Each structure stands twice: as structure tokens, then as C-alpha cells.
Structure 1
């Protein structure tokens, strides 16, 4: 929210100072492209981390605040030790998606600080594939 307020102040100052609208539009396009590139790199980074993780059977434990961020995370128990999921918990259908009465297959990170559950695996994989496809399409668009 603060970022939107900062951008709005910068845009108003640019308009007051007489910056042309085309330059503001160009800056907005660059900002969106930078945000896309950052999210693509982040998903690719987590996808590589996922590839080097070990597969384990786990039991869902609870949903609580993540130790690294302000978001809620799902916690899983593997061999008596509780690990948080790397991504925030899904915000809908908690009782259907996270059940304590069944075993889940999760991927434990190499440093044993977090796990990738099935939703994190889907997010990393599809995000990386879509990001690569969009980057390839953008490159083809600018080449031709």
C-alpha cells in the first residue's frame, strides 16, 4: 500500500514539473516489466531449490504465522520435527486442503528449514514454465 502511495506522489510531482505523459507511460511499462522479471527470477530460484529437495512423507500439523514473514504458513511434521511451508497458506477451503487425518508428500529443503507442499510445487513449476514462455514470447516479439 505504501508503494502505491509513493508512486502516486512521484506521478503527481512529475505532472507538476511538466514531464510528458509518454515518459510516465514508458516508466510504468518499465516498472511492470521489472516486477515481472523479479517474480520470474524468484519462482525460478524456488524451482531450483525444489529440485534439490528430498521427498518425505509428512503429516499436516497446523496453520500459524511463518517464522520468516508476516504471512500464515502450513506446518508439517516429518519424523517428529515440525517444518513450515515455504509459501503462504492457501486462503480458501482450509478444512478441505489441509487435513490432519492423512499423510502428505512434501519436499524437505536441503538445509532442513522448510518444506514444499503440493501447492508450493505447483506454484513453482507452473510459475517457472509460464515465466519462461512469456520471456520467450517477449524476446520473439522484440526480434521480429
Structure 2
């Protein structure tokens, strides 16, 4: 089955040259560096905030881990059980809606909502009294 000529013509406009791709890459790298800079963060187009990652995974991790992901309309909580030295992992997760009023309201309401969802999840999975490492992805615009 051949691709119609019109589709080929439209798609040709979407092909990016190596030179253009390099310019985009350099511009993004520049903006990220401005976002990471202490003096330039406030005026940067791409805001970057510090991370507290202490080391990279090596495949030997073992035990239970919590992962939180806050997006625009949903908050996801994951409980991951790693066996160490294995490619298998057990994972349970739950998605909680973030009500519009919470999403656009003050930060106190948002973090109260996150805390309540996390508490509920941990109680449901019987880990509320267990000390568990936690990672938090906050992909939510805020001021």
C-alpha cells in the first residue's frame, strides 16, 4: 500500500534538518541553564528547581518505594516493591482527581489534598506505619 502524494507533501514540511534540530537543542540547553541559575531563575523561560537525587539507581535496589506524580488534573500514587538484582517489580497505583478548586486555589489546599490522598493510599495498602523512601514528580505550574 503506497502513501498518497498529498500525505507525503504535508509530512515533508515536518521534517527537521540537522541544523535546525541543533539550533533548537542549543536554545533549549541555554534556557534550561538560565532556569537552573540562582541569579537567572526568576526571569528564565524554563523554570528549573533543585532536585535532591543523591545517587543513580544501579539495579540492586531492594524494598518498597513510594512515587508521587502530580500533573494538571490528576495525582498518582504508586507503591513499588523492588527485589534487587532482578528486572521484576511489583507495583500498585491509584489515580486521584485534583478538583478544579484545589488546582487553582492556594497551595495549602493542594498540599492538604495530596496529604489526604497519600494517607488514604498508605492505609489501604497497610504501609502507613512503614518508613518508605519517596520520590515526587511535580509537573504542575505554580506561582
**What TM-score results when the alignment is normalised by the length of structure 1?**
0.23
TM-score (norm 2): 0.23
The structure with higher relative contact order (CA 8 Å, sep 6+) is: 1
More helix by share: 1
